[in-house]
Structure 1
């Protein structure tokens, strides 16, 4: 199946950069153009016409990821949602972090003065995490479900094991490099929060994201505001304190409508098929790159695989990839490749042909 008609960017290059930003579809561009045309002619009536977008988006997120709609909030990106969450937690919490995790995650915890410990990235990462939980006894473990540099993905059963073994430990997952790549049911995941931007694997464009909360964490946030009365205005309707905290002011109908349109498309494909297609091409890539000595055995042996691969390439090879229109990203000490459902064997063969060039 070719997706280049729907995603024109795929015809301009070998696009292995969804971990940086997902490509936009022609159908989404049509919707966005119609939305802005409405704004041009309708003025303030635009929000009346599109007032159902936010409820529909929460509903679609609930269907796609198995979270309760009442526990889903719309945010502009992961960083804003995570910061809001941290500011609602008691300052006595002890955090466990991963060294080299997404900067907006670790920095947000450290800069607020929370007590924390870090687990270094290593081949036996899961064992080291369990050991750190036993010795350090954190009250919150915050981590990216898929690591943005290495592409290491935590196995869902490992997360459930932590949740079952340490039921008082709050688990907060950054889902930005995960949501939209695989089947996921939040309600049975063991996680207390998944926070994600929508512009990468969700293909929703910039300026949108979401947070899904467990009842337990939801009840712990912003304890000092629970008994405060909201302003007496009909504009707020029946919104809760937490809704006003996570979603202050007006939400952008263009940004969140774009995410909603992309969700409708992803639902039409189904996450099962998306996972099957992306894992197929990424698995082929991983094997071919391992055969060339570019992927370590430790990555090959991992039970759960993401759709991100990081290669240790020199500067001349990086320049060669760019000159041959392979779009990827420098991350960490290597080059990050990312494969989504729209990537093909032709993309992989083009990549391999460049890597195999001797001069």
Structure 2
């Protein structure tokens, strides 16, 4: 069991930060890597040709370990979710008469790419909305997704958890249903990978992407992706020198190559060796691999469980345990509570969470302790009518 890890961060002592789903605080060790890398360019002779490839290989290897991919060659370094999903969109084998099933109200990056396909190729988008119920919401939502997938579905696009409220999707069941109709499964893991166990051997996704600056604890403008067999021979949205075969040989770069690097590397962004961001994200994922996502889930569950019971007793609506993640919780207010009043209490007490629609998104991590959850809980209690 992990202990509190706040000493590994530089979070201010006068705030309660329960908002890792917005942006993680920087680990001291990751900041140190970034500072060293920043000053490293003072002497460009210290950067050797082989360093370009050592940098990216190390990051791919750590991400492959995190998601249980067979090889780092199955992974690619990307600057954003939208970049990776643009590669998916370019290589999706679908057209008029086919459809894409997506969980409704996802983060826009996992929608806009498919809307473009709707306009260009006439592919129908089927949005599956959450049911408007107080109990059994997650279960019903999952059932609706499975029911919506049909013989014309070519792709299912969702997160492992919903970004706004932490509702967990049953990826094993969705994968099984997608197999029945010959559809691929594409996952935005930004709000889950790093804090919630994710195994590509178990879920068998065709593509996965995660931004680096949230649960991967890395810097902004960095991310990682996984591309499965469906995309092995695809064409990337970008042609750069490093994603071409034999690019490691600097002396022969003008012997232009038609072939790409093996596996998912063809989908990698140009300048992926970024000598500041790439080592920082590598160090961050190394730390996560040391902690292990299952231990992060267990820590968050033990931390929040007693306080969730208190909140439910005063009318706060929380998703059933089987259909929620422990690191990202959507708290829905009962009718007698006013969102603006609760938000004012948070502001006054310097408690940082996110308001997403009618859900208060609470996302703890290893730097949080019982005192943080106590302060949060008291804000809801004060907000109750006399």
Which of 99, 105, 113 aligns to 2:110? It is 105
Aligned counterpart, 2:186: 172
Q: 1:283-342: per-residue Cα shift (whole Å, max 9, x none)?
A: 34433322221114xx12534534222333521220210121101112123322112232
Which of 35, 58, 67 aligns to 1:56? It is 58
Q: 1:61-98: per-residue Cα shift (whole Å, max 9, x none)?
A: 11121113211011012121112221222351521112
Taking the aligned partners of 1:6 and 1:356, their CA distance within structure 2 comes to: 32
Taking the aligned partners of 1:80 and 1:211, their CA distance within structure 2 comes to: 10
Which of 198, 202, 222 aligns to 1:188? It is 202
Query: What TM-score, normalized by structure 2, do the two folds share?
Result: 0.82
RMSD, matched Cα: 2.8
Residue 138 to residue 286, structure 1, CA distance change in 2 (3 Å): farther
Aligned counterpart, 1:76: 79
Taking the aligned partners of 1:56 and 1:326, their CA distance within structure 2 comes to: 37
| Equivalent pair of 2:103/2:158 in contact (CA under 8 Å) | yes
Aligned counterpart, 1:201: 215
Q: Cα distance, 1:127 vs. partner?
A: 1.4
**SS of 1:330's equivalent?**
strand
| Equivalent pair of 1:286/1:295 in contact (CA under 8 Å) | no
Residue 115 to residue 159, structure 1, CA distance change in 2 (3 Å): closer
Q: Cα distance, 1:36 vs. partner?
A: 1.4
Which of 9, 12, 15 aligns to 2:11? It is 9
Aligned counterpart, 1:308: 328
Q: Cα distance, 1:251 vs. partner?
A: 3.4
Taking the aligned partners of 1:54 and 1:66, their CA distance within structure 2 comes to: 18
Aligned counterpart, 1:210: 224
Taking the aligned partners of 1:31 and 1:266, their CA distance within structure 2 comes to: 16
Aligned counterpart, 1:141: 156
Taking the aligned partners of 2:41 and 2:226, their CA distance within structure 1 comes to: 30
Query: What TM-score, normalized by structure 1, do the two folds share?
Result: 0.88
Aligned counterpart, 2:353: 328
**SS of 1:97's equivalent?**
strand
Aligned counterpart, 2:145: 129
Aligned counterpart, 1:349: 374
Q: Cα distance, 1:2 vs. partner?
A: 3.4
Count of residues in Structure 1 that have an aligned counterpart in Structure 2? 351
| Equivalent pair of 2:161/2:169 in contact (CA under 8 Å) | yes
Which of 172, 182, 185 aligns to 1:157? It is 172
Residue 164 to residue 205, structure 1, CA distance change in 2 (3 Å): same
Gaps of 5+ in 2: 132-136
Taking the aligned partners of 2:323 and 2:359, their CA distance within structure 1 comes to: 23
Residue 182 to residue 38, structure 1, CA distance change in 2 (3 Å): same
Residue 276 to residue 263, structure 1, CA distance change in 2 (3 Å): same
Q: Cα distance, 1:14 vs. partner?
A: 0.6
Taking the aligned partners of 2:245 and 2:206, their CA distance within structure 1 comes to: 29
**SS of 1:95's equivalent?**
strand
